[in-house]
Amino acid sequence: MPWIEKQRYIIDFALSSLMRRWKKNIALVAVYTLVVFVLASVVFFTGAIRKEAKAVLEACPDIIVQRTLAGRQDLIPSGYRDTLGRITGVSAVRGRLWAYYFDPSVGANYTIVVTDRPLPKQGVVSIGQGVSRAIHAGRGDTISLKGHDGSYLSFEVGALFPGSCEFVSADLIEMSEKDFRDLFGIPEDRYTDMALSVRNARERVVVSDKIRRVLPDTRPVIKEEILRTYDAVFSWRSGLLLVIFTGAILAFLIFSWDKATGLSIQERREIGILKAVGWETVDIISLRSWEGVIISLSSFLAGILLAYVHVFFASSTIFEPVLKGWAVIYPEFSLTPVIDPYHISALFFLTVIPYTVATIIPSWLAATLDPDSVMRL
């Protein structure tokens, strides 16, 4: 077909033209690929982590009831368990005991939990892989934790949580209720908060309202709110991710603006010569469009591929220092890949289309001028 053959010749010419300025164009493709890589990495990472968090936390308690005292969270009396248990729709109430523990020897924060699971005996704990790495402790080793009264309590590491659960367990230490109360000095009639099971999932909001009426000094958090938390936390429209996103978009806009605001004298002269030898304005626009498409599409595809490898094969290595912050314990986990066509299309329209349009406009302006005056520049 003549049209296709003509376009192939234009592409040949466009590639020769790009190769004449290969240093500039290689730099352009590198920057462009980097911008797409950063944006796509953020999108892949947040998408995957949101999906994973939602899937995993589906199993969290139906309602958590915290007690607030003088505007702060406080320990909840065990007597509240009976009151909560009497609310219609509530099938079970469990007092949860959990706390944070800062270990000054390694500068790490642990989350200490008490569960209903049987531990071999008192003084035996199970620890997460992150804790094990931080203190170099394995099964059978002894760890010492400083109690509320300043004395040290020793615990034997009975087991390590499986590495496959590190996403939820890296900093956990599980111990018996008695050990927990001895360590933190928490009275027998107090819990950190209460976990409620509700018979009918659709009644959670109603039960939550009842709890607020019956126990005005409490704050219920329902499962939907817990799940929404992670939707908000890892939304690419929030937090530092938005800053990264905005930074990359701004860099890209400056980059496109620079391209759109003018051609170099050499490029203008080239357009003048092409017009003088008989090229039509539409052919020149076609040539410049192909140049834009070649650069933007190659960079886009390379950026997407690199981002996928970075997030799903290299465990988001570049993001790790940002996510880790000052924390000593950071989980080693791999995310299940998620590719959302909506996000890929959004990235495509945010990067490829503006750049291609930005390359066409100045060429069209130059192509409509008299070839003689363009060549004399």
Partner 1 sequence: MGVRKSEMLMLYLALNLLACTVLLFHAFISSESGSGRIREERAFVRSLGLTDICLFTEASYTRNPAVADRHTSFQDSPMCFDHFPSGALVALPPHLNRHALD
Query: Which 31-60 residues touch partner 1, going by CB under 8 A?
Result: 49, 52-53, 55-60
Q: Taking CB under 8 A as the rule, does residue 292 contact partner 1?
A: no
Member of 142, 151, 229, 368 binding partner 1 (CB under 8 A): 229
Member of 31, 34, 66, 123 binding partner 1 (CB under 8 A): 66
Closer by beta carbon to partner 1, 128 or else 371: 128
Q: Taking CB under 8 A as the rule, does residue 15 contact partner 1?
A: yes
Query: By C-alpha distance, which of 254, 288, 293 is closest to 271?
Result: 288
By CB under 8 A, the residues from 107 to 146 that bind partner 1 are: 108-109, 111, 113, 115-117, 128, 130
Q: Minimum CB separation from partner 1 for residue 362, in Å? A: 23
Q: Minimum CB separation from partner 1 for residue 210, in Å? A: 14
Q: Strand 124-127 and strand 152-160: pairing?
A: parallel
Query: By C-alpha distance, which of 49, 36, 51, 45 is closest to 347?
Result: 36
Q: Which residue is listed with tokens 């070839």?
A: 371
Q: Strand 193-198 and strand 63-69: pairing?
A: antiparallel
Member of 37, 119, 125, 171 binding partner 1 (CB under 8 A): 171
Q: Taking CB under 8 A as the rule, does residue 246 contact partner 1?
A: no
Per-residue b/e over 288-307, b at no fewer than 16 CB within 10 Å?
bbbbbbbbbeebbebbbebb
Alpha carbon dihedral 119, 120, 123, 129, in 10-degree steps, equals: -60
By CB under 8 A, the residues from 332 to 351 that bind partner 1 are: 336-339
In eight-state DSSP terms, residue 335 is: P
Decide if 310 contacts 370 (C-beta within 8 A): no
Closer by beta carbon to partner 1, 250 or else 301: 301
Q: Minimum CB separation from partner 1 for residue 119, in Å? A: 12
Region near partner 1 per CB under 8 A, out of 32-40, 62-70, 77-85, 199-207: 62-70
Q: Taking CB under 8 A as the rule, does residue 369 contact partner 1?
A: no
Tell me the C-alpha distance between 177 and 174, whole Å.
9
Closer by beta carbon to partner 1, 56 or else 273: 56
Query: By C-alpha distance, which of 122, 131, 141, 358 is closest to 255?
Result: 358
For 6, other C-beta atoms within 10 Å of its C-beta total 12
By CB under 8 A, the residues from 69 to 108 that bind partner 1 are: 71-73, 94, 96, 100, 108
Sequence letter at residue 148: H
Q: Minimum CB separation from partner 1 for residue 374, in Å? A: 26
Residue 135 C-beta-side C-alpha neighbours within 13 Å: 27
Closer by beta carbon to partner 1, 340 or else 370: 340
Member of 69, 201, 214, 240 binding partner 1 (CB under 8 A): 240
Region near partner 1 per CB under 8 A, out of 20-28, 137-145, 236-244, 357-365: 236-244
